[in-house]
Amino acid sequence: MSPKWLLGVLLLAGLAVSGCQSGPRKTSGGFTVEEKDGRIRIEHAGHLVSEYHFRDVSRPFLYPILGPDDVHLTRRWPQEEFPGEEKDHPHHHALWWAHGEANGQDFWSESAKAGKTVHQYFTRRSGGREAVVAARNRWVAKSGEVVAEDERKMTFHAPGKDLRILDFEITVFAGEKGLELGDTKEGTMAIRVAESMRLMKPDKSRGAGRILNSAGDADGATWGKRAAWCDYVGPVGDGTYGVAMFDHPSNLRFPTWWHVRDYGLFAANHFGLHDFEKKPVGAGNHHLAPGATVTFRYRFVLHRGPLEPARLNALHEAYSQGKLLP
């Protein structure tokens, strides 16, 4: 074998290895992250966990949200048709962050006058022991004005068979005119849970779910109340599953208010004081000077079976300390 021929073989081998590394990161038993058709697909040990939708949407969102045992913990419509699901609130796209009043502009709904949150670029996409997807976005009003920008990071964990965990962090950047996040219940960190998890109505129609918060409020009494965490639990398929959302102690006005409804909307909202506490209009406004920022952090705990409040308190305390588990 001539030296030149051997050198050529080695170069080709190096190119082949380089090409493999440019694809989705494959880790035995770990997470993979791959872009496909305007979505980022997140898998764990070969099982779909979620997809981040960022192209040609009113705002980026995660759908589906698959919990332990690969069960769907979010409503499937409007992303896809599914028998028996209500078709209300078409802007409820599984799991998302948005607000209904930013410099007077609506970024929550999909009305004719609403603005859009437009993807700009990714700052990180990685797999392994955890999966991380981070992206930069612009808030573009109907007029075309850029009202604000944000950078969000979503970190996925699989600490055991009974739990999956998603950490969601978003930093909002005020534009050149500053930014007023307005006093409205229409927001903010939100998930629309599976139809079967929703609360049962008095006529015993629909779901058989339960809601509980850290203050001890239950079901309909949780709406508009302040708490460090809130947990929405109900039947999915043959089992019982839950979604607990944690407010981080560093967040504005901790503990937050909860815009949580019997039909499945489940949101943490730091701004809606007029709606939640009947305070004067504008009491919940939060102003950022031009170029200023504000950061919000949340944790979603997707769990099999109901969790006792003591367990949820311990999990929240771990989150507050920067830990995954107690």
Q: What is the pLDDT of residues 155-179, one digit of tens each?
A: 999 999 999 999 999 999 999 999 9
Cβ contact 135:33 at 8 Å: no
Mean pLDDT of 249-260: 98
State the average pLDDT for the chain. 91
Cβ contact 106:78 at 8 Å: no
Domains of the chain: 24-320 (2.70.98)
The residue among 123, 180, 101, 176 whose CA lies nearest residue 146 is 176
Q: What is the pLDDT confidence band of residue 247, given thresholds at 50, 70 and 90?
A: very high
Cβ contact 312:231 at 8 Å: yes
Q: What is the pLDDT of residues 190-244, one digit of tens each?
A: 999 999 999 976 666 667 899 999 999 999 999 999 999 999 999 999 999 999 9
pLDDT at 13: 37
Q: What is the pLDDT confidence band of residue 84, given thresholds at 50, 70 and 90?
A: confident
Q: What is the pLDDT of residues 282-298, one digit of tens each?
A: 999 999 999 999 999 99
Q: What is the pLDDT of residues 131-153, one digit of tens each?
A: 999 999 999 999 999 999 999 99
SS3 293: strand
User: Buried b / exposed e across 275-299, counting CB within 10 Å, b at 16+?
Assistant: bbeeeeeeebeeebeeeeebebbbb
Instruction: Decide if pLDDT at 27 tops 60.
Output: no
Where is 14: in which H helix or E strand? Answer: helix 3-21
pLDDT at 35: 97
CA torsion, ordered 20, 121, 287, 250, to nearest 10 deg: 0
What backbone torsions phi and psi does residue 214 show, to the nearest 5 degrees? -70, -15
pLDDT at 250: 98
